[in-house]
Amino acid sequence: MWTREQLKMNARYLMNRNYWECVTASIIMGLFSASFSMRGMGSNTGEFYSESYGYDERIFDVVYEIPPRLKMLLAMFLAVGMFIGVLFTLALLVLKIFAGNVLIVGGCHFFILNRTEKPKMRELLVYFKGGHYGNIVFIMFLRSLYITLWTLLCFVPGVIKSYEYRMVPYILAENPNMDRHTAFDLSRRMMDGEKWNAFVLDLSFIGWYLLSAVTCGIVGIFYVQPYVEATNTELYAYNKVKAYNQGYIR
């Protein structure tokens, strides 16, 4: 059984041995690791509410006083702004699907190699060639889709699924031609009995994230993020040994 102290100690040693490359790799991975989400638009109605008459009618008076041509111009600006916002969001989503997810798998490949050697940054780009690009894009897209759908259904199952599929990028990093059924099944089996421990492992970095916030992200960029990526790689290495010992991978 692994311990948090053991994983972190190994991660610190391996990170410091190849420090600047690990920092650069973690920055690139961090740019694409966050999932895209739609945020609800809240409104503060306190400024428009009257204690005696409900909504303040003065607001509507101001609207009525705007000339019709100016109203049309404002509406056009609003429509164009919303259209640009939608296009920008879609462009980011496409970038994440077709480039970001491949870079994440490449980053996992980099940190796996970093356990035994000192890889170069070109390792992050290795899966943009070699014939495995389409398979990685497809499986990583399904991973994001499954987690998102489970999260929309209910938050807690979404979190559970995110831990269940946590090993998928690492599995693809070492087996880029693996089919989706095998990749997801192997990740589920690797994380069987490990999800709660992995959750506690993530919580153990809260102090570092707070320090990163206090320093405007400087500590996060130059220490916390590569530290976390190296630690997650150590978790994968342990799970892979467990899988060998239990006989469901060869």
* DSSP per-residue string spanning 84-99: HHHHHHHHHHHHIIII
Which pLDDT band holds residue 37 (cuts at 50, 70, 90)?
very low
- Tell me the residue range of the domain where 29 lies: 4-34+96-246
Domain count, the chain: 1
> How far from 212 is each of 65, 86, 205, 215, 216, CA to CA, in Å?
49, 31, 11, 5, 6
Task: Indicate whether 8 belongs to any domain.
Answer: yes
Name the residue with tokens 């599995």: 171
Mean per-residue pLDDT of the chain: 87
pLDDT digits (tens, 9 = 90+) for 109-118: 999 999 999 9
Name the residue with tokens 């500590």: 219
Task: Indicate whether 86 belongs to any domain.
Answer: no
Task: Indicate whether 142 belongs to any domain.
Answer: yes
**Hey, which residues does 54 pair with through a beta bridge?**
50
Where b means 16+ CB within 10 Å and e means fewer, 3-17 reads eeeebbebbeebbee
pLDDT digits (tens, 9 = 90+) for 174-226: 999 999 999 999 999 999 999 999 999 999 999 999 999 999 999 999 999 99
Q: Are 141 and 101 in contact (CB under 8 A)?
A: yes
Task: Indicate whether 63 belongs to any domain.
Answer: no
- Compute the average pLDDT of residues 24-40: 69
Reported in sequence order, the residue ranges of the chain that DSSP labels E, i.e. its strands, are: 49-50, 54-55
**Hey, which residues does 50 pair with through a beta bridge?**
54
Tokens of 87: 């296009």
Task: Indicate whether 119 belongs to any domain.
Answer: yes
Amino acid at 158: G
